[in-house]
Chains A and B, each alone.
Chain A
Amino acid sequence: MAKLPLEGIRVVDITVIYAGPFATMNLADWGAEVIRVESIKHFQVLTRGGTAHPNQAIVSDPIRTGGIATYCGRDVSFRPWNRWTLFNAHARNKLGCTMDLTQPKGIEMFKKLISISDVFLESNAPHVKENLGLTYDVLKEINPKLIMLSMPGFGGTGPYKYYRALGVHQEGFIGHTALRGYPDSDPSTTSTVYHADEAAGATAALAVLMALYYRNRTGKGQHIDMAQAEATMPHLGEAIMDYTMNNRVQESMANRMPGAAPCGCYRCPREDRWVNITVTTDEEWQGLCRAMGDPEWARDEKFASRLSRENNQDELDRHIEEWTMKHNHYDLMYLLQNEGVPAGPIIFEDDAYTDPHLKERGFFQELTHEECGTHIYPGLSFKISRVPNSIRRPPVRLGEHNEYVYKELLGVSDEEYRQLEEEGHIGMDFLPEVR
């Protein structure tokens, strides 16, 4: 196999939860040696579970569906932190070690690791790195070519510098939450999305790649200050520009879009199955009418032009849903696409794993995780023609590569290794007293 483009780049990763780990996943996927540094003495909520030692009865409760945050087999009897779906989504291709950064010895080891690495990513609120003494000023003395990316929610300066927020809270701050609810309801019914996590994660990976490109050219490292919220704000450019240009405060349009009608999500017969349809031109409207069998109602003046369709959209939606209620969500995609109408089903997990397009393109990939067993995982986000690539390692377990990191990279002796185990640095289990 050809060498992967980021081979030889070592990344030290202490990021938490979703955004930062998604950034390092994108680097690991293309060959970087990403080493997650975690602690067996400190449990960061959500990253590797709800709590360090979860209650089996609650995890097994059949009323609660697992969602994005559950355990493989709902079994927490052995190392639940390696079975957490939220973590195992992004932890492929990475290496992992454990180190207690609250002890001087841990900091010493960490700095040694930094001295032989290329990139360091961290995503906590800034007080964490300040308290640990792991700021760029300190680390660049150890490694002048280091690229360090800090990605707290609000950045490294400004009045909210020390604010704590997950992606969902940042989205409230930047207007995304207000722009995406049900128009006939107040924001308290708006459900959670994690757009800021995917936006900041992808943007952080891009920032690191740019800094590496510049370093290849000049030999210079640098620090990157990324507020996760700022990385996401440009995604709302139209709403922001409408305000700065016209002083207009946009509100949620739900599933509609200016210039398109119909544009919506329509119910299908099977429970909770839906099809999305977007019509922007007269040709597409005619295609939709053909697909529907040229019904009488569609010939009404009210639906004759783009503008009139937009003005009578509620009524239009009711007619269309009467029709979609007679068809399978996937069949509607084929039927409408064959008539040149943009349409697609809302894809649930069972649909995804049987989707013919994803299958033909080889998107999914089987992986065996030592503790979770063999499963089919979502694959790489893009293809590069002369870089044949696939997922090389299953999601990393806590402390899985301690031997490699300590003995091979840091040159620790067997005796010292045993001592580090006793001091609570090295291990594969959160200590019993950790909550």
Chain B
Amino acid sequence: MEQALSDIKVLDLTHYIAGPYCTKLLADYGADVIKVEKPDGGDPARKMGPFLGDDPHPDKSGLFLHLNTSKRGITLNLKSQDGQEIFRWLVKDVDILVENFSPGVMPSLGMAFEELEKINPKLVMTSISNFGQTGPYRDFKASELIMYGMGGAMNETGMFDRYPLKKAGNVIQYQVGTMSAVATMVALFASEVQGVGQHIDMSMFESQMGTIDRRMSQLITYQYNNETSYRPDPELDPPGFPYGIYACKDGFFQLTGGFVFWDRICQMMDRPDLLDDLGFCTQEGQREPENLERFSVIWYPWISERTKLEIITAGQAAGVLCGPINTPGDLVNDPHWKARGFWEEIEHPVAGKLTYPGAPFKMDETPWRVSRPAPRLGEHNAEVYGELGYSEEDLTRLKEQGVI
């Protein structure tokens, strides 16, 4: 079956996480993505774990393997004259260029958008950076932690009496990668409508400031009511009950109850006798500490006798918003995602056959598909440069000169 983006060609100068996730999204839905890596070592993500068997081999990084599916890979030294010449040939032929160098690097290589659009007048160029291409922080360095602290809602993540916490792993960079793919598609439409090229300035900082994970709502709360956000203090700000994460017989689970869903909680626990208890089924009642105490006497024995699965099954049958606290292992073994065919087995010449996360969404006309595993360093040099008309001798010479 045809894929949604199968007529799109992308030149990918990105490395680490946000940029590669952006181009992975495009590649897995059909775009021909050519990933350009520097000849010595390639994308630094190849040196980041976790590694298969803890062997720090450049083709065994789980991070790199995951982020670079369906892409062709070439090497090119963009600092060399010949490399820049070849790069201009490559740009001529693509719809989209994605890069996440520090601002200023592309212009210093003679590859500013203004230069490139002379070669390719309808080029969509997506530039992803920490703080954007302008402004006083333009050249500041950042990390996942720093990005979440500045752009995201880290100030209210964690407990009130402890240090603020980031989210897991590198999720902010993945999120920015997704937003960059959104921006790229929007700019592609703009380029078609206007018949000219477009340059996207994607600032991780702003993308987080304008995101739905609490930040936008909090900024508006501050404007409306002059109230600053805070990390929760369960004593000061009881959220109603039952609410939050609880220990049960074999682990932890989470649910959202409160007076609004009290009828469903009663159904979950099979306690119709509590349905009309005014201490439980009204907002006023749920705010009285003695009702929380009365509830606790019923609740804790009930949950401590049951497993996560029993509680979630009963809760979901009653329409309660709830779920288990799973580990990544629980997730991979969960029957639901297996039944949906989420996991993808991919064979890689060095890493072998491994299970990867699959389609983020299923399009019924134009499927998600991994056309090839993540490229080895320079794997498609002969193929891609061959398409540009370089002969085998040319390639040998360029290799000797350190260009590819």
Contacts and interface: CB of A to CB of B under 8 A. Distances in A.
Contacts of B134: 360-361
Interface stretch (B80-88, B294-302, B315-323, B395-403): B315-323
Interface in A44-100: 45, 50-51, 55, 58, 63-74, 83, 85-86, 88-90
Given A175-B327, A235-B174, A239-B169, A347 B363 contact: no
Interface in B11-46: 21, 25, 29
A87 to B, nearest CB: 9
Contacts of B136: 356-357, 360
B320 to A, nearest CB: 7
B66 interface: yes
Interface string B134-167: 1111001111111101110111111100111111
B182 A209 contact: yes
A85 B144 contact: no
B361 A207 contact: yes
B225 A341 contact: no
24 contacts: A86-B217, A154-B336, A157-B339, A157-B340, A172-B325, A173-B326, A178-B327, A206-B182, A209-B186, A213-B188, A214-B366, A222-B364, A224-B361, A234-B357, A241-B66, A243-B329, A345-B149, A346-B164, A357-B131, A380-B210, A382-B203, A384-B198, A386-B194, A387-B198
Interface string B212-239: 1111111111111101111110001100
A173 B209 contact: no
Nearest to A125: B319
B328 A179 contact: yes
A241 to B, nearest CB: 3
A244 B220 contact: no
A236 interface: yes
Contacts of A5: 186-187, 189-190, 193
Nearest to B173: A235
A252 B168 CA distance: 7
B276 interface: no
Nearest to B128: A382
Contact of A237 (B67, B167, B187): B67
Interface residues of B, number: 157
Contacts of B5: 210, 213-214
A276 B145 contact: yes
Interface stretch (A106-114, A256-264, A292-300, A304-312): A256-264
A272 B5 CA distance: 47
Contact of B321 (A169, A242, A341): A169
A197 B216 CA distance: 13
A412 interface: no
Nearest to A251: B327
B209 to A, nearest CB: 6
B67 to A, nearest CB: 7
A239 B224 contact: no
B223 A375 contact: yes
The list of the 4 closest CB pairs from A to B, nearest first, reads: A241-B62, A179-B168, A349-B222, A278-B143
Contact of B63 (A188, A241, A249, A385): A241
Interface in B42-87: 48-54, 62-63, 65-67
B175 interface: yes
Contact of B175 (A90, A195, A352): A195
A226 B340 CA distance: 11
Nearest to B199: A385
A89 B327 contact: no
B254 A180 contact: no
B342 A347 contact: no
Given A240-B328, A278-B145, A384 B365 contact: no
Interface in B90-114: 113
A182 B320 CA distance: 27
A5 B183 CA distance: 11
Interface string A326-352: 000000010001001111111111101
Contacts of A4: 190
A185 B183 CA distance: 39
A299 to B, nearest CB: 24
